[in-house]
Amino acid sequence: MKIVKVYGPGCKRCETTEAMVKNAAAKLGIEVGVEKITDARSIAMAGVMSTPGISVDGRLVHAGGLPDATRLEGWLSA
Amino acid sequence: MTIGIDVAPHGRGTLDWVWLAGVPVAAVVWWIVYGQLIPLSEWVTSLVPVARDSHTGEAIAFFVYDVPKVLLLLTGIVFVTGVLRSWFSPEKTRAILAGRREIWGYPLAALLGVLTPFCSCSSVPLFIGFVSAGIPLGVTFSFLIAGPMVGPVGLGLLYGLVGWEVATLYLVFGFTIATIAGWILGRMNLERFLQDWVRELNAGPTAELPEERLTLADRVRVGLEQVREIVGKVWIWVLVGIGIGAAIHGYVPETVMLRIMGGDAWWSVPAAVVVGIPMYTNAAGVIPIVEALLGKGAALGTTLAFMMSVIALSLPEMIILKQVLKLRLIAIFVAVVSAGILATGFLFNAIL
């Protein structure tokens, strides 16, 4: 199972990102555990400056704005 | 910076050339519609069974003219800004500013504050990212003040609704305040008033992200995405702002306006700043109000002070920053920025 973390203080874009991750995982048939990190300190500690940020299995793959759906699938299946 | 580990093939869905060709077409349509706003709004107003020169008629005409005008301007500005900003990112800005202690770090930060895309919801991670990368606190403040204060939306609307003279004055003074306030805050050695956990973070986590390569068509998509998101979010503030502007335009007598916001009432400038702080709206919502105030004879300095205070000093923003700044520092920050705004207000009331 892949652990995906979505970093963001809980604005609308962060929620959309979380939904996008779940959709992409369902579409690809990949099992993921999605964790939302909303606490400013943890977001900063992860090195994320622009939210929402996404990490897959501890590797930061995206920061700032909604991810591109195609690229998101790439990260999940990598 | 690591480059391109996973660059996915672009051009999903619609072909790239459709996006690129769509831009000039949309620009022409935009231009034609924009040019027809006066006859269009007069025609709509004439449909309402109210005398055109009555209070209500004036208010309705203002509203009917301003709503499409502001929404068109907003859409155009947000699109162009969105495309331009796709060349910038907080990560790049941080790399440019890191370690700049020279005096011109401040104006540079203010300039990048205008060009870097960031939403107020991520100002805390951004603040930490800057400070932990060794960007001086004052330079970080210049960046954070300039972002909202000299934003393109505010400038563009000011240009379209009030005129280029006021827009230029606003640009020059907003930029100057952001630069000087950051410099003053930097000279005050305020690091001890950061929240303790932020100071302990100084080792500086910096994540390396693969850089995205965008084609021009991608940037057009970014711009449109911005339009959908920002216009979708602020349109309600725009309507409220224009509604208030219309009420002022139609019903407030000029004599009252001159007494409250005229150049002779010295207390009107601080009052405008104080009233502006708790007002939570954005540039798109406040500029129709500014338009109506100026139209009724409010002094330019007072009105500029009001506008700057509404946009640059917002209570919710301070509550967000409370996570990283101690109350003392927030108070000093507000005091320094307010001083700059007051100075601007008094200066213009004195010379005009």
For residue A28, the domain's CATH number is 3.40.30.10
pLDDT of res. A69: 85
Q: Provide the 3-class DSSP secondary structure of residue B117.
A: coil
For residue A36, tell me if it sits in a domain.
Answer: yes
Among chain B residues, the shortest Cα distance to A58 is held by B207
For residue A41, tell me if it sits in a domain.
Answer: yes
Between CA A48 and CA A46 the distance in angstroms is 6
Which of B200, B209, B224, B229 to substitute to test the interface with A, most A CBs within 10 Å? B209
- CA of A62 to nearest chain B CA: how many angstroms apart? 7
Between CA A63 and CA B264 the distance in angstroms is 51
Among chain B residues, the shortest Cα distance to A10 is held by B121
For residue A11, tell me if it sits in a domain.
Answer: yes
The B-side interface with A (CB below 8 A) comprises 6, 8-9, 12, 89-91, 94, 117-119, 121-122, 124-126, 128-130, 132, 197, 201, 205-210, 225, 229, 323-324
pLDDT of res. B76: 94
B125–A50 C-beta distance less than 8 A: yes
Which of A15, A50, A73 to substitute to test the interface with B, most B CBs within 10 Å? A50
- CA of A5 to nearest chain B CA: how many angstroms apart? 14
pLDDT of res. B8: 41
Residue A10 reports pLDDT greater than 80: no
pLDDT of res. B59: 92
pLDDT of res. B62: 92
A8–B124 C-beta distance less than 8 A: no
Q: What is the ipTM of this complex?
A: 0.81
Q: Which of B246, B253, B247, B260 is nearest to B299 (CA)?
A: B260
Please state the domain count of chain A.
Answer: 1
User: CA–CA distance from B253 to each of B168, B258, B260, B293 (Å)?
Assistant: 29, 9, 11, 11
Cis link prior to B39 (omega < 30° from 0)? no
Chain B residues with beta carbon closer than 8 angstroms to that of A71:
6, 8
For residue A12, tell me if it sits in a domain.
Answer: yes
pLDDT of res. B205: 54
- As a whole number, the mean pLDDT across chain A is 86
Reported as a single tens digit per residue, the pLDDT across A31-56 is: 888 999 888 888 888 888 888 889 99
* Helical segments of B100-136, H only: 105-115, 123-132
For residue A58, tell me if it sits in a domain.
Answer: yes
For residue A30, tell me if it sits in a domain.
Answer: yes
Which string of DSSP letters, residue by residue, matches B27-75? Answer: HHHHHHHHHTHHHHHHHHHHHSSS-TTSHHHHHHHHHHHHHHHHHHHHH
B323–A78 C-beta distance less than 8 A: no
pLDDT of res. B123: 81
Within chain B, which residues score under 70 in pLDDT? Answer: 1-14, 99, 202-211
CA B252 centroid distance within chain: 27
Instruction: Read off the pTM.
Output: 0.84
A78–B89 C-beta distance less than 8 A: no
For residue A78, tell me if it sits in a domain.
Answer: no
Chain B residues with beta carbon closer than 8 angstroms to that of A42:
none
Among chain B residues, the shortest Cα distance to A66 is held by B225
Among chain A residues, the shortest Cα distance to B128 is held by A44
Q: Which domain holds residue A64?
A: 2-73
pLDDT of res. B346: 92
Size of interface A-B (CB pairs under 8 A): 88
For residue A21, tell me if it sits in a domain.
Answer: yes
Going by their DSSP bridges, the two strands A2-7 and A32-37 should be labelled as parallel
pLDDT of res. B14: 67
β-sheet bridge partners, residue A32: A2
pLDDT of res. B204: 52
Q: Measured between CB atoms, which of A47, A51, A75 is closest to B122?
A: A51
pLDDT of res. B6: 38
